Amino acid sequence: CYDEPTSALDPNLRKEVEKMILDLKKSGLTQLIITHDLTFAKNVADQMLKVQPLSEA
C-alpha cells in the first residue's frame, strides 16, 4: 500500500517511482495506491475507486 507515493517529488524522481510501480505491476504484484494525482493513477492503475464526500442533504 502506498499513500501519496509521488507527493512532493521532482518530475524526474516521480517518473522513477512510476516506473518502479509499473515494473512491480508487470511482475504480478497487487498494489493499493492512495493518491490525489489522477493523472498518475490513470497511468498505473488497472482499476480505480474514486472516493467523494457524501452530500449533506
Residue 57 confidence (pLDDT): 60
- Regions in the chain scoring below 70 on pLDDT: 57
Instruction: Residue 52: name the closest of 39, 36, 41 by CA.
Output: 36
Q: Return the pLDDT at 44.
A: 97
| DSSP one-letter string for 7-50 | TT--HHHHHHHHHHHHHHHHTT----EE-S-HHHHHHH-SS---
The overall pTM is greater than 0.85: no
The pLDDT score that the predictor gives to residue 55 is: 84
Distances (CA, A) of 18 to 4, 8, 41, 52, 57: 12, 14, 10, 25, 39
Distance of CA 56 to the CA centre of its chain: 29
Residue 56: the pLDDT is 72
